[in-house]
Structure 1
Amino acid sequence: MTTHSGLKKIRLNLARTREFPNGSARHGYEFIAPLDANDHIDAGEWRKHRAQCRVRRFWADEEEDIGHLRHRPGGSWAFHYDIDGDEDDEAGYRFGAHPFRPGEYVSIKDEDGELHTFQVVTVQDL
């Protein structure tokens, strides 16, 4: 018996912006999440593996933020950081509806409420 869901390491790089017309590999996220057969985040599997669903935010020369993928009430997803608590969660815009496949685009609202678009660069089995 095979299971479609498995933990994946997903890398998101900043997509094209005015500031970065070619996007940026120095700005983005790597996170671990279980994906279903349609490459959507699997909430049921996430509940079983939530401790492993980590995120690393890298932003050029800023210090990296390390945290967890959270499934919030109402079904939305967010990145929650494990630091002293001065940063709000960063919300994934409609993460539940987006497939996580290389070439796809997703948006994340940062702690300042700004929406940034990222491209899925890699999705690897853990």
Structure 2
Amino acid sequence: MALYRVHLNVARSEQYPSGSSECGYEFIVPLDGQMQLDPEAWKNHKDDCTVHRFWEDEADLRGHLRHVGKGWKFDYDKSDDEDDELLFKLDRHKLAEGEYVSITESDGEMHTFKVMAVRPYP
């Protein structure tokens, strides 16, 4: 297990025909040798697993990666669940360059993101 910094950009879609490097996430996550999320390692590194959401024309958000039941979410305010963003089947996805991840944002809209970079952290 090792910690990695993962950078996502919004992928091509009707709203973003060419994708966008101005909309995305950067987060720290423990990955196993198969480049999949390691939930046991996450338990020991919860405070390290931060997220930075950047979106054109919106204020940046900073929070943490949280494990909820079998799922994962980005949590920007521990006292309020309304801002949480759910990661679609993150426990089954490989977090490697060129792969895709879907995130349901706090407004209920789901976007697909392309993994642009995965680098050892720190």
Answer yes or no: is the 8 Å Cα contact 2:23–2:56 preserved in 1: yes
Q: Which of 47, 58, 79 lines up with 1:51 in the alignment?
A: 47
Structural mapping, 1:1-126, within 5 Å: 5-73=1-69, 75-82=70-77, 85=80, 87-126=82-121
Runs (4 or more) in structure 1 with deviation over 2 Å come to 82-88
Instruction: Give the drift of 1:88.
Output: 2.6
User: What do the CA deviations read for 1:11-52 (whole angstroms, capped 9, x no partner)?
Assistant: 000000112211000000000000001111100100000000
* Distance (Å, rounded) in 2 between the aligned partners of 1:39 and 1:102: 10
Q: Which amino acid aligns with 2:117?
A: T
* Distance (Å, rounded) in 1 between the aligned partners of 2:81 and 2:29: 25
Alignment TM-score, normalising by the size of structure 2 = 0.94
SS of corresponding position for 2:91: helix
SS of corresponding position for 1:113: coil
Instruction: Give the drift of 1:86.
Output: 7.5
Structure 2: any 5+ residue segments left out of the alignment? none
Structure 1: any 5+ residue segments left out of the alignment? none
* Deviation larger for 47-56 or 18-27: 18-27
Answer yes or no: is the 8 Å Cα contact 2:75–2:81 preserved in 1: no
**Closer, same or farther: CA 45–64 of 1 in aligned 2, 3 Å:** same
Q: Which amino acid aligns with 1:95?
A: L
Answer yes or no: is the 8 Å Cα contact 2:7–2:25 preserved in 1: yes
Cα-Cα RMSD: 1.4
